[in-house]
């Protein structure tokens, strides 16, 4: 068995391909092999992407949401949450501030909030692009036409996590949507030439190793440019409040295996991972991750974007968040990327100037 695991790792390093069974072997491996897996993933990251860590400034511009995802504190059934919407001016100011701090990509994220219609978002994208920032949108499922308008306005990337690739589990967690709807949105984004980001939650109630392996195979099949993987964190005002938190160890293994499968993908060390333990973000950077998304949302709104409780860095100013992250990256012997950090896949290098 021991030799087998090493063989599976070697195959993944060589071919960037694994079967479902092989992925399950890696996700189940214990201490000794876990280290070999992490070392291999770190090497692949170094070989294909170098030492640069890309920082993306995250602006959480609205916590209104029409959905009822059962793990998420923003679900519309949560009447305890004070809702907010940032004005166009506030969002633009936050982007300006992020630029001044050195960010070259901003991520505009929100609940599914139709108050921001297609034109509002398109205007915002146009104005922010003029600053010389790359723009990632993460506003949930919208129509093909809306995605098209935003892409034409200059949006570079779109982040829409698939959450779980197990359609039955997806259905139980998302009473008002379906896996096929989410998949269709991802396919629309792909057709429109976005750099596509997706990803999953680890440790959801009812999730199995098989379904985690399917998450990785899904990301591989979609050949995503970015993928965020974070642990499930129970929120006290949701139906999943009494389920256990997802395992950070399993998240790290998922990141490592995904790095072997997708050597060119941008993989963040997620905020959810930092929330379950301070050191896990650094660990993720050492087993395949190469991106961090520090929060640049104005302080008065930050606490209210409560997808899960006790979010890391929620009380820090944008200056302090960045400082701490820069210190951590430097301590690891890595450096901060100074460019916009587009996907290194050739098609995007050519398509986006």
Strands 134-138 and 105-110: parallel
Query: Which residue's entry shows tokens 């036409």?
Result: 145
Q: Tell me, by CB under 6 A, how many residues bind ligand SAH.
A: 18
Name residues whose C-beta falls within 8 Å of residue 203's C-beta, 6 or more positions apart in sequence: 231, 232, 244, 245, 246, 247, 250
Give whichever of 140 and 288 is closer to ligand SAH, judged by the CB atom: 140
Please select the residue that binds ligand SAH; options are 40, 107, 229, 272, rule is CB under 6 A. 272
Q: Using the rule CB under 6 A, is 160 a contact of ligand SAH?
A: yes
Q: Using the rule CB under 6 A, is 307 a contact of ligand SAH?
A: yes
Give whichever of 272 and 312 is closer to ligand SAH, judged by the CB atom: 272
CA atoms within 13 A on the CB side of 58: 26
CB 313 within 8 Å of CB 271: yes
Please select the residue that binds ligand SAH; options are 26, 29, 72, 226, rule is CB under 6 A. 72
CA atoms within 13 A on the CB side of 325: 33
The footprint of ligand SAH on residues 90-109 (CB under 6 A) is 109
Please select the residue that binds ligand SAH; options are 62, 63, 68, 138, rule is CB under 6 A. 138
Q: Using the rule CB under 6 A, is 216 a contact of ligand SAH?
A: no
Q: Using the rule CB under 6 A, is 111 a contact of ligand SAH?
A: yes
Helix (H, G, I), strand (E, B) or coil at 158: strand
CB 23 within 8 Å of CB 259: no
Gap between the Cα atoms of 171 and 308, Å rounded:
20
Gap between the Cα atoms of 69 and 84, Å rounded:
19
Helix (H, G, I), strand (E, B) or coil at 311: coil
Q: Using the rule CB under 6 A, is 140 a contact of ligand SAH?
A: yes
Q: Using the rule CB under 6 A, is 56 a contact of ligand SAH?
A: no
Q: Using the rule CB under 6 A, is 201 a contact of ligand SAH?
A: yes
Q: Would you give the binding string for ligand SAH spanning residues 224-243, x where CB under 6 A is met? A: ------x-xx-x--------
Minimum gap (Å) between residue 179 Cβ and ligand SAH: 13
Nearest CA to 187 out of 216, 218, 210 is that of 218
Minimum gap (Å) between residue 281 Cβ and ligand SAH: 15
Determine the interface stretch with ligand SAH among 100-108, 155-163, 169-177, 257-265 (rule: CB under 6 A).
Answer: 155-163
For the chain, the distance separating the N- and C-terminal CA atoms, rounded to the nearest angstrom, is: 49
What is the binding site for ligand SAH (CB under 6 A)? 71-72, 109, 111-112, 138, 140, 160-161, 163, 201, 230, 232-233, 235, 272, 307-308
């Amino acid at each position: 068995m021991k030799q087998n695991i090493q063989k599976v790792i070697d195959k993944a390093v060589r071919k960037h391909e694994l079967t479902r069974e092989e992925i399950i072997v890696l996700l189940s491996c214990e201490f000794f092999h876990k280290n070999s897996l992490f070392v291999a993933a770190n090497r692949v990251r170094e070989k294909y992407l170098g030492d640069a860590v890309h920082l993306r400034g995250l602006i959480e511009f609205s916590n209104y949401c029409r959905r009822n995802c059962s793990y998420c504190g923003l679900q519309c059934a949560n009447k305890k949450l004070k809702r907010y919407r940032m004005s166009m001016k506030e969002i633009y100011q936050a982007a300006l501030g992020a630029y001044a701090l050195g960010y070259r990509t901003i991520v505009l994220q929100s609940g599914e909030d139709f108050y921001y219609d297609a034109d509002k978002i398109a205007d915002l994208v146009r104005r922010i692009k003029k600053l010389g920032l790359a723009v990632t949108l993460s506003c949930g499922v919208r129509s093909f036409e809306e995605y098209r308008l935003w892409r034409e306005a200059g949006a570079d990337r779109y982040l829409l996590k698939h959450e779980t690739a197990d359609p039955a589990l997806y259905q139980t967690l998302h009473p008002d949507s379906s896996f096929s709807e989410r998949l269709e949105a991802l396919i629309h984004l792909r057709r429109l030439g976005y750099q596509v980001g997706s990803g999953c939650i680890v440790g959801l109630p009812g999730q199995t190793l098989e379904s985690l392996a399917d998450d990785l195979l899904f990301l591989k099949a979609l050949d995503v440019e970015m993928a965020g993987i974070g642990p499930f964190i129970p929120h006290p005002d949701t139906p999943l409040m009494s389920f256990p938190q997802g395992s950070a160890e399993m998240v790290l293994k998922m990141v490592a295996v995904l790095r072997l499968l997708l050597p060119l993908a941008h993989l963040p060390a997620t905020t959810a991972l930092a929330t379950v333990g301070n050191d896990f973000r650094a660990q993720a950077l050492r087993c395949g991750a190469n991106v961090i998304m520090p929060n640049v949302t104005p302080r008065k709104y930050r606490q209210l974007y409560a997808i899960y409780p006790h979010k890391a860095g929620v009380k820090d100013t944008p200056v302090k968040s960045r400082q701490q992250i820069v210190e951590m990256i430097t301590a690891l012997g890595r450096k901060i990327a100074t460019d916009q950090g587009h996907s290194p896949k050739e098609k995007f290098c050519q398509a986006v100037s």
